Amino acid sequence: MITTWWASLSVAMKLLWGVTLAASLIFVIQSILTFIGADSGDGGIDTDVDTGFDSETADAEVEGGTNLYTFRNFVNFFLGFGWSAILLQDKIHSIPLLIFVSVVIGVALVAVVMYLFKWLSGMQQSGNINLFKAAVGCTGTAYLTIPAERQGKGKVQISINNSVREYNAVTDGDTLKTGTQIRVVEVLSPDTVLVEPLESIII
């Protein structure tokens, strides 16, 4: 039955169906990969020492959502264009009008997806700021020796929201050797914190 139906289609309709089905398949694959990427996490050490998210992943998602000429947006356009033309062909008998309406719907779908990605990006950045502020007061361990009186940077591993993260670190006091228990006093930049030895809190 499918073979008979396919054979009855014109060359233009076969091409339209082929493009539409290909766009639909790619869209489904992209959506699955996006959700897998968004939900993935090993629950272990996060060495992306910024505000708590993978900058490469975020950049890729923002690029796919807010820049016009991307593969994702071309897929979205053909998805909206193709299905609109297929579903409306029996209702709009004028070919130029059908093409115009389908193009408008395809462009509208691209605009909606771009807006959605922009909104999600803003939400993600807002969440990162909260996580960034949450570093103050957290305790951890000096991972690499921290030179005294801000004469250089070492590294610390601290626990934030049940996840261990690694930051560059400086201190105003004496040298903090590897293994020293520390507390974050201030966040100086997205990847650098000011720390003090945990013992100084007890004394």
- Give the residue extent of every domain in the chain: 9-34+53-133, 139-202
State which fold the 139-202 domain adopts: OB fold (Dihydrolipoamide Acetyltransferase, E2P) (2.40.50)
Tokens (6 digits) for 175: 């040298």
Q: Which of 103, 159, 99, 109 is nearest to 134 (CA)?
A: 159
Give pLDDT tens digits along the chain (203 positions).
778 877 887 888 889 899 899 999 998 888 787 667 544 433 333 433 343 334 333 344 444 444 556 788 888 899 999 999 999 988 888 888 989 999 999 999 988 988 887 776 655 544 554 556 678 888 999 988 999 999 999 999 888 777 788 889 999 999 999 989 999 998 888 788 999 998 754 44
Long-range residue pairs from 23-31, CB within 8 A, at least 24 positions apart, any chain: 23/75, 23/78, 23/79, 23/82, 24/79, 24/82, 24/83, 26/75, 27/75, 27/76, 27/79, 30/72, 30/75
Identify the DSSP state of 150: G
